[in-house]
Structure 1
Amino acid sequence: MPPYEEDTRKVQTAVIGQPDSDWPAFLPFDHDDFDRFMLGRSRDDFYCGTLLGGCGKKLTAKRYLHKKCHFAHRPPVHCRRTQTGEDSADHLYIGQALQHWLRRQGHQKVRVSYPDLGSGPGGAVEVRFGSGTRLIRVQMDRMSLKQWEATRAQLAAGNVRVQWVYGPNSGITHNKVKAEGHAIRFTCRTEGGTRKVYVGTQSPDHSVKLTTLNECHLTDEGIVTPHLRDEPSTAAEADGDTDTTIELAFPIVPGQLAFTAAVPTEEQNVTARRLYDADVQPAGSVMTRMRIALPLHSVPPSPHRLNVIESTAHLIPLPDSGTERPSWLIEAVGFSPLLTESDPRWPDLRPAPEPRTPPTPEETAPAKDEALVKFLRHRLMQTAHSRGVINWETLLRYKGYAPGDFTPQDRVRLLVAVDHPRSNDKPVLSSLVRLAHQEPGPAAHFHEVLAGLGWSADLSPEKVRDIWERQRKTAYDLVRGETPSKNTASTGGTAPADSDLISRFRTELERVAFRRTLIDWSTLVKLTGARSAGITPSARVRLLVAVDGSYSSKRPVLSSLVKLDGQATGPAPFFGEVLKGLGWTSGSTSRSPEAAWPAERDRAYALVAKAASASKNPPSPFRDDHGLWAALGIKRKTVVKAVRRALVSAAERQMRVSWQTLASAAGIKPEALRDPTRASILIDVDRAAGPDGVLLSSLVVSSGNLPVPYFADILKYLGRPYSSFPIELSRIRKAEQARAFAAYAWSANRTEA
């Protein structure tokens, strides 16, 4: 086997969903942990992420009994990733943890970035919030004192409040300790098959006391750990400040205290806190009126809901309290509203009545959530049809969201909307949703979903599990029973829900015909966003018949381009059934499906090519997200023109360029466009070159001066000689580069003359 066809390097971390994802995955070393890790996941979920400094290609999780489990690249491999150990994704874990922590405290506009400081993405983690006016910067890479001071000055000049915290290897925390008496550090440890994030407080004696983010507060100064609250500042002692008065405060057990009927107070003099007076009841005690202090930027509590304080909080006596002023203050970092109007743990709490009839879950969801609820319901129906379960995180990735975009409360609200209204004749599809890394059984949020659908809020864990098992089985049985043939067998038609899928099938097969190739059934299904496990053989035939409509000498039989996985060539075993469904008879073409197949394949190639040549804008063989440009706020043709100008300039200067350079010239972020879209842009740049012109796309290189992974597809689409072998492809690329350099060197010289 040639050396480029095998990758023997061990990679311990990956990202999930797509190459530019910031959702990290650590593969546990032990085979038993491996099995738990893979629950609800597939072998196609993992990528050598670009935010890990990787190549963006898919990784395969390898299970071993007598050595460490790890990820491996799929050959051929051209990856120059340098950090592959268990800590190589720690910057992503830290970024995710900070993002979730800030969202739980009410910050909605939280943006995380991973600057490249010279050694690849993740030299630092920058988390912006508060409409971009606040920044937490986690310095991961080592940095000289001079660089540190210069970067601090640069950030300070941007009118942004910055808190500097440090990773385990930054090496400059002593400067922070010297200046302020302490430093905040982040580190990750392998626990329970994942990397858990810890926050440390470093003291002048170099000791570091660790805690979790859930135990920390956010103030105007930044992250405050329990150790900073409990210990006097060393810097203050050095300045002669000997005031050691400690405020009396009692810690409150998380999840044991709830409140309602909260109204803002007239007194708002607590720094970085907003005050509310509310009815408060600890579990097992009586209700009383207390004052609550919440972070300034947190979402105000609704007086019409029950709210539970589930994070660390403290009970503080208020001085000079009178008959009309509460005697106690609860200082909390956040709260979680319940979906129910009452809870047996706090029987005395009664929320203020809503000013109007409470809306249904669909009405409470924002308009932008309606499409998401519809999508989730459709995906869960597919999951039920394949008798499987699916991770909540994977569900979101299918729609292009990150897990951090939704709070746990959002998750419950959306799943309740998916199954609303509750009915005995339909299953609770939310029973098929689990969380990544959870143990087998119902998800932790399932009892809240049940409560939102009308079940009792105080169900025992055993009762919740019993409902979960029954609803999951009902989902499998009912959805399996609703086979497509019930609605379409008599007419040969398709159900309305299939129309969008059929359209995507047809578009993808036209691309295949334009490239004059064949496609595996599973690949076709994956590219169109469906699940092959959820499509029965009879449904497959029905879908392909619907793609082609009916047999006609003027209509290409696109289904002839579909083959089974692993099949070399020739008609698929189901091709005869498709032809029969199209109305084909032995007298209308060759005598048998096997003999008809090459003719129908070539006819599909010819008719699609003819239609493309007659069009001013022939179809691209690559999938291109047409909604992408609106999201980026730029026109596609503007990007094409900018990329062409940059490539012409590079040719005149006899230089090769990376996609990062082209993206910068077009005014977009390099990671904004995926490989298929990049390829389609380079095709448009070189489309006018014809069969003999110079190819500016040959000047685009990846790391190590190698051809970009889609260069062969560009050549193939433009009708140029191409090869699937890297050595031969590199030779073609170098020849095309030489032609481009020669052509534009002459042009540049003529301009100068």
Structure 2
Amino acid sequence: MSTSVPYDHRLVQTAVVGDAHSDHPVILPMDAAELDAWRRRHPHYTYWCGYELGGCGGKLMDRLYHDKVCHFAHVSGGPTCGRAATGESSADHLFIKRGLRNLLGKHGQRGTVATRDLGSGPGDAVDLHLPAARRRLRFQLSRLYYRGWRAANLALADDVDEVDWLFGTDGPLTEELLARKGYSLRFRLETVGGERRVHIGTRTHDEPSVHWHPLEDCRITQGGLLTPSTETVRVSGRCPKPFAFPIDGPVLFALAPEAPVPDDSSFAGEGRRLVAADVKPSGSPIVRAILSLPNDTELPPAKHVYRATDHARLLVREGVGGWVVSLNRFVRLNAHEAARTGLAQALPEPPDTMPTPAPRAKQSVTLTRNRAVVRVRELLTNAAPRGRTMRWSALAAQLGAPLVDMPQNERAAFLVEVDSPLQDNKPVVSILLREDDGGLLRCLPAVLDKLGVKGTGGMSADSSALRAWAERERERTMALCVTPSRETSPRKPDMAKAEQPKAPASSLEERRRATQEKERKTAGRQATPHTEIEQLLIAAACQQQAFTTAELELLRSDHRMDLSVLLMRIDRAATGSTPLLSSLVTDEDGAPLPYFRDVLRAAGYRAPQTDKALKLAWRREQERAYAAYADPPQPLPERLV
């Protein structure tokens, strides 16, 4: 009966049989009874510290012990040995080499198997070359990092079409190959008597666990080394995914259907379609490129300009020319925004209101109330994508009873039926209706209150908060009613909260008081939209603060002119000793306004080309504004434009 003894890693456990140049490996059984049986089976074996093991070439003899582990020992009088690896895994490269040769003969394939010394010994790697398949397999036994792998992969692929890599352990390189090819191959060896049995493992994206099979159960074909679990799936033929790099900032584009798209593009993928487009990344000139869009998305009309709403990515393939811009979601810009991009002509904006229809002959059939609700909803929903509004009097003239001479309280109840129920994915179309003077319906606060918008009860239709809320809802209505619908921000359910947007440090009421304190600086000026905005910005500069566009819209009382036009007018008169006050207005993320370049040009300065340089110039203008209106005033830093 044999006794198990602990394994001593200092002892020589492997050798080659025959002579010092042999590649026939053997691992000595460590148990005395097993070694005795081994001797009887192989009475004529001679053992050597072979060169293929990194050894000295000297002769070895087996030592049988009952009280300690059996091992090889050098015959006295031989050369001094500096062999680094002597454990049971030190001949793994030779067991792999022998197993591959046996597999080639079993399947009648022509190929060569060779071990490689990559700097740490002859057991660093094993290569299988299949010339007919123009393919190589490398079993990597020594440690390898990405740069070394990349260089070796290029060298191995010099005269073949494909290189399959097999690694002994999981690590960054197996994950890299899994990401590149959709599969990774592994190997491991297990000791059975005087042998080390080779097993092959396969891992795919679809099956994250590794499936192991003995090497003798695998097949070598023109497609490489196939395990039983991959017989029906040619994992080596799977097209690897391209490399993806995120594009910083917004990406604008307009389709160019007249431009050709290669039919055999390597970037074509399942569930995607390739289209040509003129693309404008943030801070860059326009470039003709290929877009990769979801195949289940309706191709947008080429006459419009669009903005990607998710993070666009640049797709490239190693060793393949060209690149593709990939994005999944996008929204259409309005005519004014599109004209500023350079991707579209400056188109006239649609009129703010629908023309009043000509008087119609009295209808022979009077609409029921339910039918009138449906008809009003249809008319307003159809007008929404064009951004148009409609006067109540025109609507009543078009539909007749029961809208004609409808009192205010009944009008409110009627519009509640039109917009019920209040849902985030359903627009409030009543905000598209106007009084004859162009203002919001006087009954709109009552309509919103009954629909469930908090803070609207008792509010005036002339409230600046209501106007700001209605303008946002109008934009949401346009986005939700267009085909296909566009993504939009959620509705603010509480008007009271909408009246108080967040301020960086001080409340908006404090800013109003600061504005009043600075009115003496602008005394005698006529109260205009221009001077009102200027006073608000001076007050912000005094407090070393800035406004978002939403805050500024809520604070100003005169909305007759567009904010961008007013800011350009204010800064057009700026000199070297005065700051650009528009730098104190930011978007909702605290970044420069999208049209800050236009502000600089309107003021007579050269606008930076890159976003980074623009942000530095914008930040410097903020510093100049804070210095100019500090108490006491500070010297102004030098302008960067």
Class of the TM-score when normalised by the shorter of the 2 chains? 0.3 to 0.5
Larger Rg belongs to:
2
Q: Which structure ranks higher in relative contact order (CA pairs < 8 Å, sequence separation ≥ 6)?
A: 1
TM-score by length of 1: 0.29
- Tell me which protein shows more helix as a share of its residues: 1
